[in-house]
């Protein structure tokens, strides 16, 4: 048993090295045509033009896109809510090609997609002017699910962000205590209940006065991010920012 465990450690160490040694894709990650290595996010211009990047007005609380002409500064989800995070950012709408790429990344074992997807998130941070963060914290997966999938997609994205921005990646802050049901087929109320007590802090963690960035792949109603942030608050950070790659439509 002991040697199996250490083999696993070596294996995951090699994987981490490979994540950064993997050659940048010279094929569009969406349609597969040949592209220049310098092409942004390894996506050809045609496919890029069909992705809904969030560039216009966004909810001041969670970062979801909102109507350009609306009078409210928040999305309907945040309207009656005080979020436990300071402010949220999201990069693209969860639809079409992006939906398919995220699916391949998570379930098709295409780990290398962490690079173009992480690059999309880095661009968002720079555009938003969020340049001083003390720690990047991925939303954790339950250890059983992580073992099944082989990795935590939020952690891979957080690793690219931390490296590109020169920030500290910290996986030893939050722990997922419950292997919650998949959120995708639940209503808003069910989602909140599903994740309410799902997270805990590692013993002895202090984030006193720090600015932390919580990272996840998909944001829908915000119940997961809210639950994580509420847990993080116990460690007294100064600010909690949240960043998701894609934002889903309200349910
Ligand atoms: Zn393409
Ligand atoms: Zn919102």
Whether residues 208 and 149 fall in one domain: yes
Domain count, the chain: 2
In a domain, 4, yes or no: no
Angle, in degrees to the nearest 10, between helices 96-107 and 114-128: 130
User: Is the pLDDT assigned to residue 60 strictly greater than 90?
Assistant: yes
In terms of residue numbers, what domain contains 154? 54-247
CA 235 to each of CA 131, 196, 209, 210: distance values in angstroms, whole numbers, following the listed order: 22, 18, 9, 10
Reported as a single tens digit per residue, the pLDDT across 169-185 is: 999 999 999 877 666 67
In a domain, 180, yes or no: yes
Reported as a single tens digit per residue, the pLDDT across 211-243 is: 999 999 999 989 999 999 999 999 999 999 999
Angle, in degrees to the nearest 10, between helices 188-195 and 223-233: 30
The alpha carbon of 118 and the centre of ligand 1 are apart by a number of angstroms equal to: 18
Domain ends where: 5, 31, 51?
51
What are the residues whose beta carbons fall under 8 Å from the beta carbon of 94, sequence distance 6 or more? 102, 218, 220, 246, 247, 248, 249
Q: Which residue has the higher pLDDT, 193 or 142?
A: 142
Kind of pairing, strands 87-93 and 239-247? Answer: parallel
pLDDT at 227: 94
Return residues with CB closer than 5 A to ligand 2 (ion).
59, 61-62, 64, 75, 78
Q: Which residue has the higher pLDDT, 136 or 249?
A: 136
Reported as a single tens digit per residue, the pLDDT across 81-139 is: 889 999 999 999 999 999 999 999 999 989 999 999 999 999 999 999 999 999 999 99
Reported as a single tens digit per residue, the pLDDT across 184-204 is: 677 777 767 777 778 999 999
Which of 103, 129, 67 lies closest to 246, judged by CA? 103
Reported as a single tens digit per residue, the pLDDT across 11-41 is: 666 666 666 655 555 899 999 999 998 899 9
Mean pLDDT of 32-54: 94
Taking each continuous run of H as one helix and of E as one strand, the counts in the chain are 9, 7
In a domain, 8, yes or no: no
Report the CATH number that the domain containing residue 209 is assigned in CATH: 3.40.50
Whether residues 35 and 132 fall in one domain: no
The alpha carbon of 117 and the centre of ligand 2 are apart by a number of angstroms equal to: 22
Chain position carrying tokens 């436990």: 84
């Amino acid at each position: 048993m002991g040697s199996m465990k250490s083999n696993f450690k070596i294996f995951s160490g090699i994987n981490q090295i490979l994540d950064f040694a993997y050659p940048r894709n010279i094929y569009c990650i969406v349609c597969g045509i040949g592209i220049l290595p310098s092409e942004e996010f390894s996506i050809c211009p045609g496919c890029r033009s069909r992705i809904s990047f969030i560039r216009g007005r966004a909810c001041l609380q969670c970062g979801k896109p909102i109507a350009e002409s609306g009078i409210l500064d928040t999305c309907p989800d945040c309207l009656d809510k005080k979020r436990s995070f300071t402010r949220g950012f999201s990069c693209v709408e969860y639809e079409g090609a992006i939906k398919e790429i995220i699916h391949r990344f998570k379930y098709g074992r295409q780990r290398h997609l962490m690079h173009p997807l992480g690059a999309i998130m880095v661009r968002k941070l720079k555009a938003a002017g969020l340049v001083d963060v003390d720690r990047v914290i991925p939303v954790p997966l339950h250890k059983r699910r992580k073992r099944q999938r082989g990795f935590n997609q939020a952690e891979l994205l957080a690793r690219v962000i931390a490296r590109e921005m020169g920030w500290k990646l910290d996986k030893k802050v939050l722990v997922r205590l419950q292997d919650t049901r998949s959120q995708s087929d639940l209503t808003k109320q069910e989602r909140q209940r599903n994740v309410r007590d799902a997270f805990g802090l590692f013993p002895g963690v202090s984030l006193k006065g720090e600015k932390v960035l919580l990272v996840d792949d998909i944001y829908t109603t915000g119940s997961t991010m809210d639950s994580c942030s509420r847990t993080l608050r116990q460690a007294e950070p100064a600010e909690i920012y949240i960043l998701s790659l894609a934002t889903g439509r309200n349910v």
